[in-house]
Amino acid sequence: MDTAFDLTDDERELAAVVRQFATEVIAPIAYEADRTHTLPLDVVAQMGELGLFGLPFPEEYGGQGGDLFALALAIEGIGRVDQSLAITLEAGVNLGAMPVYRFGTEEQKRDLLPDLLAAKGLAGFGLTEPEAGSDAGGTRTTARLDGGEWVINGSKQFITNSGTAITRFVTVTAVTGERADGRKEISTIIVPNGTPGFTVQPAYDKVGWHASDTHPLSFDDVRVPEANLLGERGRGFANFLSILDEGRIAIAALSTGAAEGCLEAALDYAGKRVVFGEQLATRQSIQFTIARMQARVHTARLAWHHAARLRDAGRPYKAEAAIAKLTASDAAMDNARDATQIFGGNGFMNEYPVARHFRDSKILEIGEGTSEVQLMVIARELGLPA
């Protein structure tokens, strides 16, 4: 599919390189990685060598000097063939490295970013808890100062990139006090892997994203230096929300890639499958289904391109990011359903990519803010009452 209608020459080259890499390197191993629930770290390393994890960061820290649009192009290209590796990239950048770059001290940046931007290390962001996610007030994890150290107690769930062999640390949100208005003071603290009392629990048995690393975490009197505070004390949740809008654009790009992958598979299968002596593609009902799939891909791509361009230009983009995430995640889920239907019984077999997309795509309507949260954001941006 032609995706280059509004790209610069550099962006067009990046999209082509990632697409080729995804087709030649990722696609052949995607089924086995999914079947064995294994994150292929050798492929992650190759993604690092391509510079994908460093795309939106300055060269002084080992980055490529690009922007969010460039990162989203790479995520879309990988999401087309494998969502697990696409979310590994998205989370590694937006949830692992970006908080350090955006809010860290110069010492923290110099110490932590080079490995993350080269994919020699990964990091997770511990926000979600059994009773907290979009609702900061539900946060139960606590951190108190004692002798120049933070003492952390609590638990987190659904944390991506938190238990790999190259995971360096997780950044966790924790209640560090009480604000003047009585609300919880929430801060973010860096907790290196291997810190006593910090336990990475066994990986989840998920519906999809099988090759993506996801764990619950527990903290039992975990002690880290006071200097491991990331950003200003009490600004932890607010800082996370500022990054979340960017993450929604990235998830929209991933969703667009998934929707396109389903479209390509459906086109190929319909052209080869013979039913009652005729190609499946000759049936008007199939043609209309595929036409709608293409319309969804096109609309989703327009939405995330617009939101990303606004963000990179320094203009307001909160509503546009929510619209992109809502539109593209719907497109991924709808295209996965339609592609599976076109494949018939074969679409129910995990060896076919459409089956994997069908399982993987549901989380796109949940992660980084559910579809309902996106609708709420859009409504608030329209001025509707809270």
Residue 94 vs residues 99, 165, 242, 251: alpha-carbon distances, Å: 7, 20, 11, 10
- Catalytic position from the list 264, 368, 372, 381: 368
Tell me how far apart the alpha carbons of residues 92 and 87 are, in angstroms, rounded to a whole number.
8
b/e per residue 157-184 (b: at least 16 CB within 10 A):
bbbbbbbbebbbbbbbbbbbeeeeeeeb
Q: Is 264 a catalytic residue?
A: no
Tell me how far apart the alpha carbons of residues 382 and 386 are, in angstroms, rounded to a whole number.
11
Q: Which residues contact 5 (CB under 8 A, 6 or more apart)?
A: none
Q: Which residues contact 58 (CB under 8 A, 6 or more apart)?
A: 65
The β-bridge relationship of strands 122-126 and 167-178 is parallel
Q: What is the dihedral of CA 156, 158, 162, 164, to 10 degrees?
A: 140
Tell me how far apart the alpha carbons of residues 350 and 365 are, in angstroms, rounded to a whole number.
21
Cα dihedral across residues 28, 34, 36, 37: positive or negative: positive
Biggest CA–CA distance in the chain, Å, is 79
Only one residue has tokens 């697409």, namely 19
DSSP code string of 210-245: TTS-EEEEEEEEEEEEGGGEESSTT-HHHHHHHHHH
Tell me how far apart the alpha carbons of residues 219 and 205 are, in angstroms, rounded to a whole number.
22
In which region does residue 71 sit, left (phi positive, over 0), alpha (psi from -120 to 50) or beta (all else)? alpha
**E-state strands within the chain:** 122-126, 142-146, 149-160, 167-178, 184-192, 198-200, 214-225, 229-230, 274-275, 278-279
- Kindly list the catalytic residues: 368
